[in-house]
Structure 1
Amino acid sequence: MRVLVGGGTGFVGTALTQLLRARGHEVTLVSRQPGPSRITWDALAKSGLPSCDAVVNLAGENILNPLRRWNETFQKEVVQSRLESTQMLAKAITEAPQPPQAWVLVTAYYRPSLTAEYDEDSPGGDFDFFSNLVTRWEAAARLPGHSTRQVVVRSGVVLGRGGGAIGHMLLPFRLGLGGPIGSGQQFFPWIHIVDLAGIVAHALEANHVQGILNGVAPAPTTTNADFARALASALGRPAFIPLPSIVVQAVFGRERAIMLLEGQKVVPRRTLATGYQYSFPELGAALKEVVA
């Protein structure tokens, strides 16, 4: 297939592009800068959708960038980077003379809870900044009554080499200074980057897949403390120094810290039912591959 990928130069986008090309697909990236096998967002806005069989959007500012203060300016960037890119691609699809067969958006976030279990039929809701963002983000992607098959992949915490959540965790854990965040009892929905890219590719290739898929591993319930122990074990280090909630709130801001301090139990019921087979269903094996 000819696949157009918005935000394809980032951590997940790079892995997805490599996987799609390895499977024989042709990939064109939408990015700020022109280049080989790329078009710019400005060109997309002016000229419309290039001829393609599928479209994916991964674009968006990194919400948990610890180098950015959680202020009004950054919040606007987080919202605009997601909504504007999604709206632009959705508009281009609706106006295309030959619309693509599939349209996949990668989002995230359910309401934090120590007790609730979320599958693909669970409502997203509108209870805080992030849930409001995801509700608007997914709404911007909808093409009611359109012939293009539509899929939303709601991702967990992405684990992989060279980026993502692990990039900020490895140094303290290697030094033996790692441990659970806050109480450690919050659920920790995770996924290996190979599987997130694999689920997106599966959604593009399998004509029966549509609607919402949870992009999380099918492993038994994992808490943040479980994750800390597994990462320390993969590194051959201890994991007994917790990161206090007050420190997390000081670094990320109270609103953003909720994403780290209050987790969600998310299960990939529909993802499994569609026939996707995980490469890394278990946390221990996933982390050993990441830190090898």
Structure 2
Amino acid sequence: MTSLLSYGKPYWSKEIAANKLTNRVGGGSGFVGRELTRLLTNKGHEVTVISRQPGPGKITWGELESSGLPACEGAVNLAGENLMNPFRWWNESYKKDLFSSRIDTTKTLARAIAASPSPPRSWVLVSGVACYKPSLTAQYTEDSEWTPFDLLSKLVKEWEASALLPEDVAKTTKQSVVRPGVVLGCDGGAMKQMLLPFWLGLGGTLGSGNQPFPWIHVSDLAGIIAHALEPPADTPSPSPQVFNGVAPALNTNYEFTKELGRVIRRPTIFPVPGFVVNTLLGAERGMVLTQGQKVVPERTQESGFQYKYPDLTSALKEIVGS
């Protein structure tokens, strides 16, 4: 498969041999993008990155807009400014960048797919679970109805809407949306910022610790995206199929904290009050850590996807090398 991947941008593919697919990946240097590239390459796919800078194995966004979408079997959009960027203060400029980095690139890619004389057979957008309202009791599956209730849920709404293809293109291109939770891995994501204080024995729960903590190992998220990229067996549905990109385990922040401490053999006795998190990150961003949702990957499991790391113990042991 030829795939054009956008890690922080998109992904695409073109069949060039019976078992080899070419992939285009936008923003391929990102945390999830790197893992997805490794997985696709290991599966015999040829991956091309969509990037702001030209280089071997890359095409630029300018080339995409001027020359159109290269022939491909699949496309993936992983674009977006890092929500938890520790070097950016939570202000209007940052919020604007969160929206534009996701919505503008998604629109660009969706337009390129629609204008292609031979659109890809699969198109996957990776958004997030922020669409589901935080609750200690409610449980969300892919079929749960939701309406925007805050800034981040509004972002997801506009983001997913910007990926929709025209009806005539949707008749041949399978549309999917993967909504990941907190992505865990050894070389990026949330763990990159958490591990040092935990290794120093300074780790602790965030806020009450009772909030749900929807998480997924980066290898499983890449697997779900690749699973969603598989060409349709028959005529695609006119609307996107949603997959919750979370582990099947339902854990709280307290359970995550204690298990990480146990795996690395460190105490976790320094809780961080919610007001401290909100002061450091901004209330709208801080709630991602101090509140949470019980998200169930019902359709993901029904589709036949097999998790490598379905529980915290196996995921954390792989990440810390225990």
**TM-score (normalizing by structure 1):** 0.97
For the pair 1:31 / 2:51, whether they are aligned, the reply is yes
2: CA distance, partners of 1:48 / 1:144? 17
CA apart distance, 1:144: 4.0
CA apart distance, 1:206: 5.4
Which of residues 39, 49, 57 in structure 2 aligns to 1:19? Answer: 39
Q: Which residue of 2 aligns with 1:266?
A: 295
2: CA distance, partners of 1:238 / 1:267? 30
For residues 231-258 of structure 1, what are the alpha-carbon distances to aligned partners after superposition, in whole Å with 9 as ceiling and x for unaligned? Answer: 1111111112101112101110011111
For the pair 1:3 / 2:3, whether they are aligned, the reply is yes
For residues 212-237 of structure 1, what are the alpha-carbon distances to aligned partners after superposition, in whole Å with 9 as ceiling and x for unaligned? Answer: 00000011x20000000011111111
> What SS does the corresponding residue of 1:99 show, helix, strand or coil?
coil
* Equivalent AA in structure 2 for residue 213 of structure 1: F
CA apart distance, 1:48: 0.9
Q: Which residue of 2 aligns with 1:252?
A: 281
Which of residues 233, 241, 260 in structure 2 aligns to 1:211? Answer: 241
Higher mean C-alpha displacement, 207-216 vs 35-44: 207-216
Q: Which residue of 2 aligns with 1:59?
A: 79
**Residues 218, 262 of structure 1: alpha-carbon distance in 2 compared, 3 angstrom cutoff:** same
For the pair 1:96 / 2:116, whether they are aligned, the reply is yes
**Residues 251, 29 of structure 1: alpha-carbon distance in 2 compared, 3 angstrom cutoff:** same
Which of residues 111, 122, 140 in structure 1 aligns to 2:144? Answer: 122
1: CA distance, partners of 2:243 / 2:3? 20
Which of residues 121, 142, 161 in structure 1 aligns to 2:186? Answer: 161
For the pair 1:78 / 2:107, whether they are aligned, the reply is no
2: CA distance, partners of 1:270 / 1:49? 30
Higher mean C-alpha displacement, 150-159 vs 241-250: 241-250
Q: Which residue of 2 aligns with 1:40?
A: 60
Which of residues 130, 133, 148 in structure 2 aligns to 1:111? Answer: 133
For the pair 1:223 / 2:252, whether they are aligned, the reply is yes
2: CA distance, partners of 1:124 / 1:40? 36
> What SS does the corresponding residue of 2:75 show, helix, strand or coil?
strand
For the pair 1:239 / 2:268, whether they are aligned, the reply is yes
Where do 4+ consecutive residues of structure 1 move more than 3 Å? Answer: none
* Equivalent AA in structure 2 for residue 133 of structure 1: L
2: CA distance, partners of 1:291 / 1:244? 26
* Equivalent AA in structure 1 for residue 30 of structure 2: G
| Counterpart contact for 1:124–1:131, Cα < 8 Å | no
> What SS does the corresponding residue of 1:280 show, helix, strand or coil?
coil
| Counterpart contact for 2:205–2:257, Cα < 8 Å | yes
> What SS does the corresponding residue of 2:299 show, helix, strand or coil?
helix
For residues 249-292 of structure 1, what are the alpha-carbon distances to aligned partners after superposition, in whole Å with 9 as ceiling and x for unaligned? Answer: 11100111111111000000000000000000011110010011
For residues 41-89 of structure 1, what are the alpha-carbon distances to aligned partners after superposition, in whole Å with 9 as ceiling and x for unaligned? Answer: 1111111101111000001000111221010111111100000110000
Name the Cα RMSD after superposition: 1.1
* Equivalent AA in structure 2 for residue 200 of structure 1: I
> What SS does the corresponding residue of 2:179 show, helix, strand or coil?
strand
* Equivalent AA in structure 2 for residue 198 of structure 1: G
Whose RCO is larger (CA < 8 A, sep 6+)? 1
For the pair 1:291 / 2:311, whether they are aligned, the reply is no
2: CA distance, partners of 1:199 / 1:36? 27
| Counterpart contact for 2:4–2:75, Cα < 8 Å | yes
CA apart distance, 1:124: 3.7
Query: Number of aligned pairs?
Result: 291
CA apart distance, 1:123: 2.5
